[in-house]
Amino acid sequence: MPKRKVPVGTPKNAETDVKESKSFAKYAGLALLAAFVAVALSFRSSLVSQPALNQDIVVARATPDAPQRLRWNVTCDAQYQPAKGCTPSQCARVLRDNFVSVDEVQQLRDIAERIMRSGGGSGGPTIFDLNSGALSKGDKFIDLYTQLKNGGQPSPFSEPDRLLLLEVLERVKAAVVDEFGVAPSRLWLTTPTFFSRIRSDAVAVTMNDEYWHEHIDRIAYGSFVYSSLIYLSDYGTDFEGGEFVFVDGQRTHTIHPAKGRFHLFTSGSENVHYVAKVTRGVRHALTIAFTCDKAKGVDDFLSKSRF
C-alpha cells in the first residue's frame, strides 16, 4: 500500500467580526476535521487519505433490536505520556445507547440550533465551541460571546441550558472513570467542547470543510486522551451518510449515529477514524474530550458565556 501523506496546515485568514480576545485568538485558525462528530477546532491538521478497504463491519446500527452497550478493546499506541491514575492501560471503544434521554437530546439540539442561527458555515459543517464562543460563519469564525456581550445582548444559555450541559459533562466524565479505571481527580475536561452540524446541501469551500478525511484525535488536538461523542440525530432518518468509521488496516468498523447514543474511545493512533460524507439531510452531534494534563484542562467550560 502506498505510504499515506499527511498534509499539515491551518487557515491563515480566519477573522472575527469583533476584536479577538486572547482566548479566542488561538481558535482563529480552526481546522475542521472528521472526528467523532466530524468537525473539529484544531491548531494542526492530521488528515490522511482513505485507503482501499476490503471489509466493512457495521458494529452498531441506528435502529438495533434492543439498546446496545458495547466495548471492544484495542492495543494502545506507544505515544501516550504516562500520567499516574489517568493514562489508559487498556485502550478501547465504547458505545452506550440512551446515554441521554429523548428530552435531553431535544434540548441539546435546541441549544445548538439557536446558537447556530447567529452563524453557519458556508461549506457544510458548522461548529460552536462552548469554551471559547467560536462559531462558524461563512468561511470564518466569530467570537459569539464577545459579540453578544459588546452588543448588550444576553448570554446564549439559559439556566436550564447550563444545568443540562454541566450534567451531561459529569455523566461523560463518570463514563470515562467507569470504563478506563481513571482517578476522577486526575482527569480534566479539555478544549474544544463543541456542537457540530453537517449539512448535505453545501459544497466544501475550503480544505477545512472536507471533514471526511481520516485523522487521529491526539495528533489533531494535542490534548485529547479520551474522546467522546453524543449523537443528536438519527442515521437513516435525519440524514444519510455521516457514519463514524474506525480504520483498522484493511478493515473498517462502522457506527451509525442515533439520537442519545454515546460513543467513547481513546484518542491515540489505535483509533484512526473518519466520518463519511453526509449525502442527505443534517447530522448533529456534541463532542466532549478529556485530558490527563492539568495544564491543558478546563475548570469551568462555560465561564466565558456568563455576562
> How far apart are the C-alpha atoms of 277 and 258, rounded to whole Å?
16
Question: Is 283 one of the catalytic residues?
Answer: yes
Report the sign of the C-alpha dihedral through residues 253, 5, 41, 143, in that order: negative
Contact yes or no for 46/33 (Cβ under 8 A): yes
Amino acid identity for residue 122 in this structure: S
Amino acid identity for residue 73 in this structure: N
Residues in a beta bridge with 244: 255, 275
> How far apart are the C-alpha atoms of 143 and 14, rounded to whole Å?
11
Q: Strand order of the sheet with strand 244-248?
A: 55-60, 251-255, 244-248, 273-275
Q: State CA 234 to chain mean position distance.
A: 17
Residues in a beta bridge with 227: 265, 289
Please pick, among 96, 109, 197, 283, the residue that the annotation labels catalytic: 283
Strand ranges in 21-163 using DSSP code E only, listed in sequence order:
55-60, 69-74, 91-96, 120-121, 125-129, 134-138, 140-143
Known catalytic residues are 283
